[in-house]
């Protein structure tokens, strides 16, 4: 039988995952990726021209990332894929490391620090009990009846059947379901925005109760169920310990992965997608396949959906509407320090920050990375910050989007 060819548009985690599954099932696979670095939004972005000459030759550029990578314990598929990517004598999944704490930092008030796994010792239990007194104390700002209401809503999600999740919760936004509009600002901050914007960069007014509820409940179970941490990170720069070994494995298996190859158009005929127009190195050419997979962001895909494609599948016409109001900016910034500042052994969520900041102090999770090999050799620590809200005014009175940023 002739081998079927699949053309994958976009070489981020989705494109790489599709390539992985298909090449292992005997398809011929070609991936077309617009950027110079593989991995899409998960890619590392070294800071160009920052590596200086050291005693052992030229040092590496500063290890920039699009944002830090957080792998909750409930992630199943991505970790399964990682277990199938060779790395040294093991696999890429061995590069996941547990955090032990999660911190909720509050402006001008004591932070809340909790274990990010189920209690393993008396001191863990004590820590949790200590923080309970803060949560139910006077300065926290959420009245007991609102706490009880939140608990009842979460209990309702936990005890709802799949049909109800799909039929009802999928159609109701988190903000409404949580009754946030009529509750205290502390309630709105922690249970409205905190669970959506800070945790998963979603908007409480738009995100469905099903999606946010499912994520939150799984995180909650991960926190109480004995076992590994609810929150894991990579033990080095993302491309070094995940994406590059992945691409190497896929290429060895026969995947043709093309960088700097941008999809400009998609052509159809006879009721099927026939080809994609690719621009690479100033030249334009057509690629044909038996199947096409679009693994590019919704706002990019919307630009490629022509009236002809829309006629074949009217559902694809909805991408235009979704891409206009449905996507928002999220990006990371790295602070390179000449002195390491571990902060906490896990993520910090800055619950009061209008820009919805979360951070990780990276070095404690990169034990085998020699920091003297980077830049001018003086870097001792990295604080990696994710910014999930770009339009709200910050404490300096400016929205994050008023500061020019590179896409």
**Chain residues in the site for ligand FAD (CB under 6 A):** 9-15, 32-35, 40-42, 66-70, 262-263, 295-297, 300, 330-332, 386
What is the C-alpha to C-alpha distance for residues 309 and 358, in angstroms, rounded to an integer? 40
Local structure of 310: helix, strand or coil: helix
**CB of 214: closest distance to ligand FAD in angstroms?**
14
Q: Label residue 358 exposed, middle or buried (CB < 10 Å: 0-12, 13-18, 19+).
A: buried
What lies within 8 Å, CB to CB, of 121 at 6+ separation is: none
User: Residues 176-199, buried b or exposed e (16+ Cβ, 10 A)?
Assistant: ebbebeebeebbbbbbbbbbbbbb
Phi first, then psi, for residue 193 (nearest 5°) are -80, -35
Quote the crossing angle between the two packed helices 144-158 and 209-224, to the nearest 10°. Answer: 100
What is the distance, to the nearest Å, from the Cα of residue 275 to the centroid of all Cα atoms in its chain? 31
Choice between 75 and 221, CB closer to ligand FAD: 75
Helix then strand count (H, E) for the chain reads: 14, 20
Residue with smaller CB distance to ligand FAD, 131 or 231? 231
Distance of closest approach, residue 311 Cβ to ligand FAD, in angstroms: 22
Bridge partners of residue 386, in order along the sequence: 332, 358
- In whole angstroms, how close is the CB of 228 to ligand FAD at the nearest point? 16
Complex with ligand FAD: residue 36 or 338, whichever CB lies closer: 36
Are 175 and 220 in contact by the 8 Å Cβ rule? The answer is no
To ligand FAD, the closest distance from the beta carbon of 279 in angstroms equals 8
Say if residues 199 and 189 touch (Cβ distance below 8 Å): no
Side-chain-facing half-sphere of 230: CA atoms under 13 Å: 21
Q: Work out how close the CB of 212 gets to ligand FAD at its nearest, in angstroms, rounded to a whole number.
A: 15
Q: Which of 135, 178, 172, 206 is nearest to 351 (CA)?
A: 135
Q: Which is nearer to ligand FAD, 297 or 399 (CB)?
A: 297
Residues 293, 295, 297: CA angle, nearest 5 degrees? 140
Minimum distance, C-beta of residue 142 to ligand FAD, in the bound complex (Å): 27
Query: In terms of CB distance, is 150 or 246 closer to ligand FAD?
Result: 246
Q: Which is nearer to ligand FAD, 6 or 180 (CB)?
A: 6
Structure tokens at 5: 């060819």
Strand partners, 54: 57
Closest CB to ligand FAD among 112 and 261? Answer: 261
* Strand bridging mode 101-106 / 347-350: parallel
Of the pair 202, 296, the CB lying nearest ligand FAD is at 296
CA dihedral 358, 361, 362, 367 (to 10 degrees): -150
**At its nearest, how many Å lie between ligand FAD and the CB of residue 329?**
8
Q: How far is the CB of 10 from ligand FAD (least distance, A)?
A: 3
Give me the least distance between CB of 297 and ligand FAD, in Å please: 5
Name the residue nearer to ligand FAD (CB basis): 14 or 375. Answer: 14
* Pair of tokens at residue 257: 């992965």
Cβ closer to ligand FAD: 96 or 180? 96
In whole angstroms, the minimum distance from the beta carbon of 32 to ligand FAD comes to: 5
108's tokens: 């001008």
Give the Cα separation of 374 and 107 in Å (integer): 33
């Amino acid at each position: 039988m002739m081998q079927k060819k699949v053309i994958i548009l976009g070489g981020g985690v989705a494109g790489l995952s599709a390539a992985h599954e298909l090449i292992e099932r005997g398809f011929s696979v070609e991936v077309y990726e617009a950027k110079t670095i593989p991995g899409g939004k998960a890619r590392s972005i070294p800071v160009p021209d920052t590596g200086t000459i050291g005693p052992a030759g030229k040092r590496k550029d500063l290890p920039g990332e699009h944002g830090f990578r957080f792998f909750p314990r409930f992630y199943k598929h991505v970790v399964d894929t990682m277990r199938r990517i060779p790395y040294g004598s093991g696999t890429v999944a061995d590069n996941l490391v547990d955090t032990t704490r999660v911190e909720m930092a509050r402006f001008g008030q004591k932070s809340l620090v909790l274990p990010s796994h189920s209690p393993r010792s008396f001191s863990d239990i004590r820590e949790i009990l200590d923080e309970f007194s803060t949560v139910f104390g006077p300065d926290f700002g959420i009245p007991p009846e609102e706490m009880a209401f939140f608990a009842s809503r979460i209990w309702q999600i936990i005890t709802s059947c799949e049909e109800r999740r799909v039929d009802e919760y999928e159609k109701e936004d988190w903000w409404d379901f949580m009754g946030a509009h009529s509750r205290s600002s502390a309630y709105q901050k922690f249970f409205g925005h905190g669970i959506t914007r800070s945790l998963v960069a979603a908007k409480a007014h738009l995100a469905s109760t099903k999606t946010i509820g499912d994520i939150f409940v799984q995180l909650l179970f991960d926190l109480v169920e004995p076992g590994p941490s609810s929150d894991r990170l990579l033990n080095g720069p993302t491309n070094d310990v995940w994406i590059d070994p992945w691409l190497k494995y896929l290429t060895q298996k026969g995947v043709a992965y093309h960088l700097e190859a941008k999809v400009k158009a998609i052509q159809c005929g006879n009721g099927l997608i026939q080809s994609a127009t690719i621009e690479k190195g100033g030249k334009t050419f057509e690629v044909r396949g038996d199947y096409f997979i679009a693994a590019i962001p919704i706002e990019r895909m919307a630009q490629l959906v022509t009236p002809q494609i829309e006629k074949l599948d009217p559902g694809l016409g909805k991408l235009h509407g979704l891409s206009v109001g449905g996507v928002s900016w999220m990006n990371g910034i790295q602070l390179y320090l000449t002195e390491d500042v571990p902060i906490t052994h896990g993520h910090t969520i800055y619950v009061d920050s209008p820009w919805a900041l979360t951070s990780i102090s990276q070095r404690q999770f990169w034990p085998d990375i020699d920091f003297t090999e980077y830049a001018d050799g003086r870097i001792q620590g990295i604080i990696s910050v994710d910014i999930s809200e770009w339009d709200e005014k910050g404490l300096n009175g400016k929205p994050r989007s008023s500061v020019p940023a590179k896409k």
